[in-house]
């Protein structure tokens, strides 16, 4: 079962909290409420320790300002995102919340439809953040296993892969980035790494796919699309050929 994004509610209104917990939109959008607090120190500790990935901050006169909470969260845990909620007429509070980093502002009383829209934005941002960190970890892990003797070449290869996250690299694009013609680069790469760039890059992409699937946040077709495969069937065939397992088997581990 996919792991859900963890949500912390910053509020001291129990009836509002109980109403939020009963909304099915959290489950539908891949989120779960893990708790409530009205203490900014407690909220920051939960963010710092990764107990919360999204904080929904309510504007109450009895609480620290939403602006202050969001600003503190952004400083302590930049990867944690915040949604603000408050009075429809408080445009100044809304403006300040967006300035310090809120991804959305929901008027009270919170409706499931409006919350659904905000959670779509949140899921997209959290997904990009997760895939980015998973990609960087895969680069480091995969290259360390290659045991490339030329450390300078390995460093440049790491930089190239990290800069190529959002594209599908080819031997031609890699050669151009390194400043060589395709044929020379192909011979050089094989002498340094022990395999062609095409084989290396295919294995690297499948390792990245395995990490994403193991995270529990992505379906097989989503990983296939993210990595630019022409079809899920083709992705599954390549994946099994390299790993000996199907994507679904890796996801279920």
Break the chain into its structural domains and give their ranges: 5-126, 130-252
Q: Which CATH number is associated with domain 5-126? A: 3.40.50.2300
User: Any residues with CB less than 8 A from the CB of 132 and at least 6 apart, and which?
Assistant: 165
Instruction: Give the phi and the psi of residue 210 in degrees, each rounded to 5.
Output: -60, -40
Q: Give how far Cα 57 sits from Cα of 31, 125, 145, Å.
A: 16, 18, 44
Edge to edge, the sheet with strand 104-107 lists 31-37, 5-10, 54-58, 81-86, 104-107
Predicted local confidence at residue 3, as pLDDT: 66
**CB count in 10 Å sphere of residue 215:** 16
Q: What angle do CA 46, 48, 53 make, to 5 degrees?
A: 65
Per-residue pLDDT at 88: 85
Intervals of the chain under pLDDT 50: 1
Q: What is the structure's pLDDT at 1?
A: 40
Angle ∠(235,143,159) on CA atoms, nearest 5? 95
CA 215 to the chain's CA centroid = 10
Residue 253: per-residue pLDDT: 66
Query: pTM score, two decimals?
Result: 0.63
Q: What is the CATH number of domain 130-252?
A: 1.10.10.60
Max Cα–Cα distance, the chain, nearest Å: 69
Contact 10, 38 (CB under 8 A): yes
Alpha helices, DSSP H only, in the chain? 14-21, 25-28, 40-48, 66-76, 91-99, 112-146, 151-163, 171-178, 182-193, 197-214, 220-226, 232-243, 247-252
Write the CB contacts of 101 (distance below 8 Å, at least 6 apart in sequence): 70, 71, 74, 81, 82
Helix axes 66-76, 91-99, angle to 10 degrees: 10
Mean pLDDT for the chain?
92
* SS3 of residue 45 by DSSP: helix
Domain 5-126 shares a fold with domain 130-252:
no
Q: Tens of pLDDT along 64-112?
A: 999 999 999 999 998 899 999 998 888 999 999 999 999 999 999 999 9
Q: Encode 78-91 in three state secondary structure.
A: CCCEEEEEECCCCH
């Amino acid at each position: 079962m996919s792991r859900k994004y963890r949500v912390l509610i910053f509020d001291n209104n129990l009836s509002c909290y109980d109403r939020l917990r009963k909304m099915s939109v959290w489950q539908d959008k891949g989120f779960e409420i893990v708790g409530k607090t009205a203490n900014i120190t407690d909220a920051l500790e939960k963010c710092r320790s990764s107990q919360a990935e999204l904080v929904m901050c309510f504007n109450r006169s009895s609480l620290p300002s939403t602006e202050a909470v969001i600003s503190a969260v952004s400083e302590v845990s930049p990867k944690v995102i915040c949604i603000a909620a408050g009075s429809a007429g408080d445009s100044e509070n809304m403006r300040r919340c967006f300035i310090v980093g809120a991804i959305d502002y929901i008027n009270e009383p919170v409706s499931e439809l409006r919350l659904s829209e905000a959670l779509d934005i949140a899921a997209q941002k959290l997904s990009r953040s997760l895939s980015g960190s998973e990609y960087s970890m895969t680069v480091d892990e995969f290259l360390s296993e290659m045991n490339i003797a030329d450390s300078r070449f390995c460093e440049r290869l790491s930089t190239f892969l990290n800069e190529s996250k959002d594209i599908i690299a080819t031997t031609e694009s890699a050669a151009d980035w390194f400043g060589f013609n395709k044929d020379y680069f192909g011979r050089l790469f094989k002498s340094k790494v022990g395999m062609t760039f095409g084989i290396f890059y295919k294995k690297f992409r499948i390792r990245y796919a395995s990490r994403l699937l193991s995270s529990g946040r992505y379906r097989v077709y989503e990983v296939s699309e993210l990595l630019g495969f022409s079809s899920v069937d083709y992705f599954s065939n390549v994946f099994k050929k390299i790993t000996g397992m199907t994507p679904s088997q890796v996801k279920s581990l």
